[in-house]
Copies of this chain bind each other. A is one copy, B any other.
């Protein structure tokens, strides 16, 4: 839990992921001594702020995005969104420009929003939700659960995985752009035919807290039926709680796998949250546990 709290304290609005990238890398380097298999690690400026871990002989790649939604300062005291943050009058935001730390509140609505910081903030400065982590017996509630829990689950997977890629991606919340070069690198080095997206989805009419990891049959985009069926059969065999999602909207790194120049099947698997893209994202701890166990099972079987 201590590590998860640290992970939740990092700032990583899309396009500014270097801090969290360094933190994840440091963790991977230190902990990999105790992992079942020591991975090859690929990172650095050639990969922007992404990290690739290659374990054994991969058949499947797991992708977890490390960025979050947030805001960018425009002119005067205007704010424009990065990704799709929920806009709620009065929420606390934080960030930093060359003059120092920024703590302020958001004022306004979807149509036009502003900050109330006494001094001007340099145009182009990223702000994100001020963090406030709350944990009880059943739930964790905080900003950035999407996708720090996906990152956390991917790092737990690293402890047991023998064969596979575990990949930390950037920009996902704002249209993507790292998957194309990551998937090219993967396919040219140790190609796979299967990809899983380790990310957080929504509570909905059909997806409830405490019902297990969510396997998505579709969001805005549609994976191949054959592959979803294979994943669901394994999920069934795993004994780990899971539920099936069918959505008409929403997207993930899966979109860029679908449109990549490689025939790679993909499936989104993750816990579901309430209060999406707010400072109060809320996930069931048992669902997080199911997510972690499901990935550990699937990566050994797929």
The interface of chain A, by Cβ under 8 A from chain B, is 14-16, 18, 45-49, 72-76, 80-82, 123-124, 126, 171, 174-178, 180-181, 183-184, 193, 204-206, 217-218, 220-226, 228, 244, 246-248, 256, 258-263, 265
Contact = CB atoms under 8 A, between A and B. Distances in A.
A265 B47 CA distance: 11
Contacts of A265: 48
Given A74-B206, A180-B259, A175 B221 contact: yes
A184 B261 contact: yes
B174 A221 contact: yes
A124 B259 contact: no
Nearest to A47: B263
A72 B217 contact: yes
A17 to B, nearest CB: 8
B72 A246 contact: yes
B221 A123 contact: no
A246 B262 CA distance: 33
B80 A177 contact: no
